[in-house]
Structure 1
Amino acid sequence: MNILILFLPAICWGIMPLIVGKIKGGNVYNQIIGTVTGALVLGLGTLAVAHPPMSWETFWVAFMAGACWVIGQAGQFISYAKIGVSETMPISTGAQLIGVSLIGVLIFGEWASTSAKIWGFLGIACLIIGVLATSKTDEGTSEGSKSNQTATLTILLLTSLGYIASSTIPKSIQANGYSIIVGQTVGMFVAGLIYVLVTKQGSALKEAISYKFALPGMAWAFGALFYNLSMKANGVNMAFVISQLSVVISTLGGMLFLHERKSKQGMIYTAIGLVLIVLGAVLTTIF
């Protein structure tokens, strides 16, 4: 059972962008409203079933993490439409791993030993090279022109700061994982509402297409729930590293199931980038 739980976060997070890609119609505002609604349903379900201990400090810290998640997810949704899932996910995942690792070292004092620092920074080097490999322009395919790719990657990398904040903010407290999910999904929902209202896209709240995206939102929330269970059953490092295999599922799935085109050279660079990103994830967490 522990082995099954170990791989479930990667499966859930890996198929989430594939489900989004299969849903026809809608825009980033519909996608945000749908996903945060689906996540909130599971978050409230967790509250009702598990009755996790909840303090105001835990709730508000988790709430802020969820709000930051919306920033990162909006950037991903924009990138799916512009350059495809198979290019978006390796770059987004690599950027998150680099940012989370550096914050862990600079703020939380991780990699205390000299050997840990050596392996850790070697892992970051692998991540950077992997991101550069997967972001190599593949003219005439799903990524489009160089100018389109450059603009999209800029948005993706900047909004990935939201994901990085979402992953690191909960480290500031000691809390039950179920409690964090509840506060996080409420924060996601509120931030999603603010996002569509501030951008004057409130009509997305009334459009049926929005709620078709509740399924990928629930896939994300299930992944987060299984991740918390996996951390307890398998240890933090092992759970985190295996969860990052989601990038392999989403990238290969984008090409196989969403039929995103790449040249032979583009596929080679993508394969090299994926290997380096997974290797970098291992080096920055295990050693």
Structure 2
Amino acid sequence: MNILIALIPALGWGLNPLIISKIGGKPVNQTLGTGMGALVVGLVVQLLFRPSVDGWTFLLSALSGAFWVLGQIGQYTGYAKMGVSTTMPISTGVQLVGTSVIGVLIFGEWGGATAKLIGFAAIVLMIIGVAMTAITDSSDRRASLASGLTVLLPTTVGYWIYSALPKAVDASGVAIFFPQMLGMCLAAVVYALVASHGTAFKDATSWKNMLVGAIFGASALAYIFSAKANGVATAYVITQLSVVISTLGGMLILHEHKSHRELRWTLVGLVLIVAGSVMTALIG
């Protein structure tokens, strides 16, 4: 049962890019729908568990959720410009590298020379893996890749801050869950008001994409329980299956084309990214 719980976030986060691509809409519709759907799950969790947090923890958690939206905007833009099968391994790899470095520099993780050596090797593996998944033979796809990366890479800072801020507070995952979802929704609403002048609220795709937000929220909640039942390292490692699901799904379900050479490099890159993430989890 514990392993089944651990598989929920892997499946949810892996399938979400495929579902959102099928539903369609612009990044602003996708972001707004995701934020609203996540808030619904957050409200349900708050009513069921009724955890209490102090004001400072609530604020930092909400701010964490707001920064998640920044990263998600970049990822959704990447789907539109580069496709899911290209965006996901790059985004995941850059997230893992950034959060690992922040953990070491700010929170003192990877104590000891051996841990730092293994961690550094893991980061190198993930960087090489990201580079491999970005290899393309087509000049048109190279142009799309360059265009997508100009948005994806800077906005990944949002994911880094989203992951780092909860480490600064002393509260359980369930306690900070609602304020994080609230922060996500508020930031998504502000983005929709600015980017679409409010028209995104009238688009059907915005409301349909609430399904993606609900899946994200349910997966995040399942991860909290998985970490408690299986341990953080095991729970985290299993979630890395999500990037494999989304990348392969982009090619098989969304029919995103890759040449034999691109496919070969992508698969090798995926292996390196997952291997690096496993290494960081086991020493973390």
**TM-score bracket for this pair, using the shorter chain length:** over 0.9
Contact 1:131 1:273 in 2 (8 A): yes
- Which consecutive segments of 4 or more residues in structure 1 shift more than 2 A? 198-201
Asked if the contact 2:64–2:166 (Cα under 8 Å) also holds between the matched residues in 1, the reply is: yes
Matched residue, 2:47: 48
Name 1:99's counterpart in structure 2.
98
C-alpha separation in 1, matches of 2:141 and 2:99: 31
Q: Percent identity?
A: 50
- Residues 211-236 of structure 1: CA deviation (Å, up to 9, x unaligned): 01001111111111011101111111
CA contact (8 A) 2:28 2:196 kept: no
Q: Is 1:179–2:178 an aligned residue pair?
A: no
Q: How does 1:156-171 map to 2 (within 5 A)?
A: 156-171=152-167
The equivalent position to 1:278 in structure 2, one of 274, 277, 282, is: 274
Partner of 1:22: 22
Name the structure 1 match of 2:246. Answer: 250
> Separation in 2 of the partners of 1:145 and 1:244?
26
Does the aligned pair in 1 maintain the 2:82–2:141 contact within 8 Å?
no
List per-residue Cα deviations over 1:175-198 (Å, max 9, x = no partner): 121121100110011101111222
TM-score (norm. length: structure 2): 0.97
Supply the distance in 2 between the matched residues of 1:78 and 1:191 (Cα, whole angstroms): 16
TM-score w.r.t. length of structure 1? 0.96
Q: Deviations over 1:125-182 (max 9, x none)?
A: 0000000000112317xxx432221121121111111011101110101112112110
Count of residue pairs brought into register by the alignment = 283
Aligned counterparts, 1:1-287, within 5 A: 1-24=1-24, 26-139=25-138, 144-287=140-283
- 8 Å Cα contact 1:53-1:176 kept in structure 2: no
- Give the conservation status (yes or no) of the 8 Å contact 1:58–1:179: no
Q: One-letter code of the match for 1:53?
A: S
Task: Check conservation: 2:110, 2:119, Cα contact below 8 A.
Answer: yes
Q: Is the 8 A contact 2:28 2:195 kept in 1?
A: no
Pairwise CA RMSD = 1.1
* CA distance in 2 between partners of 1:81 and 1:200 (Å): 17
Structure 1 spans left out of the alignment, 5+ residues? none
Distance 1:29 1:201 in 2: 11
Q: Distance in 1 between matches of 2:180 and 2:137?
A: 37
Report how far residue 9 of structure 1 moved: 1.0
> Given the superposition, is the C-alpha separation of residues 37 and 138 from structure 1 closer, same or farther in structure 2, using an over 3 Å criterion?
farther
